[in-house]
């Protein structure tokens, strides 16, 4: 374990232009690094499956009106249940969106968006964040990585990757089996094999200790909502730091 600070922040892919609260986490981590030294680690939770996570709110350059854009998905199963690392990028969606973007962002950012060739939604977002210069010098660790999962501890509340109608889906442990949440009290039971750690990821309540078992971070930059649900007793060795305030936190960051 390193004796120098390991400053971590975590986030799902949160828009093809990152939400401003993620940028605030990055800036806060950089501030801590200037004060303390050490390394910054981005725990990229790319196995989240919620398509709402990648909604991207952009402000029209002329009217000032906010518009919410998001990826298009090939089918309902992929949209609702596939992890973000398995949701595929629709090239016609990308081309159509690229034509709209000059109404919302600089020509440089529109060109960056059009140039990205990543196959998955998670990879696409990550390449955009890198292309915007936000992740220089930051180590990326991904919850969807088989290598990361193999190193992590076992948890009693978890999801497992399995197949449904040709798509990778993320089923939650549910009673004696596994299920996809269809909404309300409705669940779809599915077959899944939980014997392979490379297919296992934690729930929100078990994610902190699962992540920490690999990263051994000394400091964790948390969002305002995140710090309320984290069980800090799961990692008493971590110093938790709330991210610095930022205006319009849920809008997309496209430069100041």
Mean pLDDT in residue range 71-89 = 96
Q: Could you read off the pLDDT of 49-60 as tens digits, one per residue?
A: 999 999 999 999
Band of pLDDT at residue 62, cut at 50, 70 and 90? very high
Q: Could you read off the pLDDT of 184-219 as tens digits, one per residue?
A: 889 999 999 999 999 999 999 999 999 999 999 999
Looking at the predicted structure, is the pLDDT value of residue 44 above 80?
yes
SS3 of 221, please?
A: strand
Mean pLDDT in residue range 87-106 = 97
Please tell me the predicted confidence (pLDDT) of residue 1. Answer: 47
Please tell me the predicted confidence (pLDDT) of residue 2. Answer: 52
Please tell me the predicted confidence (pLDDT) of residue 7. Answer: 98
Cβ–Cβ < 8 Å for 16, 100: no
In angstroms, the Cα distances linking 189 to 158, 164, 168, 171, 250 are 15, 11, 15, 9, 34
- Three-state secondary structure readout of 12-60: CCCCCCCEHHHHHHHHHHHHHHHHHCCEEEEEECCCCCCHHHHCEEEEC
- Give the residue among 210, 208, 213 at the shortest CA–CA distance from 231: 208
Domain ranges of the chain: 6-242
Tokens representing 142?
A: 């991904």
Looking at the predicted structure, is the pLDDT value of residue 93 above 90?
yes
Highest mean pLDDT among 125-134, 199-208, 226-235: 125-134
Band of pLDDT at residue 183, cut at 50, 70 and 90? confident
């Amino acid at each position: 374990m390193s004796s120098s600070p390991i400053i971590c922040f975590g986030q799902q892919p949160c828009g093809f232009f990152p939400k401003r609260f993620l940028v605030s986490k990055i800036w806060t981590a950089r501030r801590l690094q200037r004060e303390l030294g050490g390394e910054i680690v981005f725990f990229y939770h790319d196995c989240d499956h919620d398509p709402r996570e990648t909604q991207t709110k952009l402000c029209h350059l002329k009217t000032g009106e906010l518009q919410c854009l998001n990826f298009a998905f090939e089918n309902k199963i992929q949209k609702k249940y596939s992890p973000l690392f398995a949701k595929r990028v629709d090239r016609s969606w990308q081309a159509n969106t690229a034509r709209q973007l000059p109404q919302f962002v600089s020509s440089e950012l529109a060109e960056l968006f059009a140039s990205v060739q990543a196959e998955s939604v998670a990879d696409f977002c990550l390449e955009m964040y890198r292309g915007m210069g936000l992740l220089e010098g930051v180590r990326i660790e991904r919850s969807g990585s088989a290598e990361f999962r193999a190193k992590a501890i076992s948890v009693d509340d978890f999801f497992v990757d399995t197949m449904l109608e040709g798509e990778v889906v993320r089923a939650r442990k549910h009673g004696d089996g596994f299920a996809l949440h269809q909404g309300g009290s409705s669940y779809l039971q599915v077959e899944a094999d939980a014997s392979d750690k490379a297919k296992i990821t934690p729930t929100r309540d078990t994610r902190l200790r699962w992540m920490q078992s690999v990263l051994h971070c000394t400091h964790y930059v948390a969002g305002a909502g995140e710090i309320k649900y984290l069980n800090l007793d799961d990692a008493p060795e971590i110093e938790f730091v709330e991210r610095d305030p930022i205006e319009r936190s849920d809008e997309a960051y496209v430069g100041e």
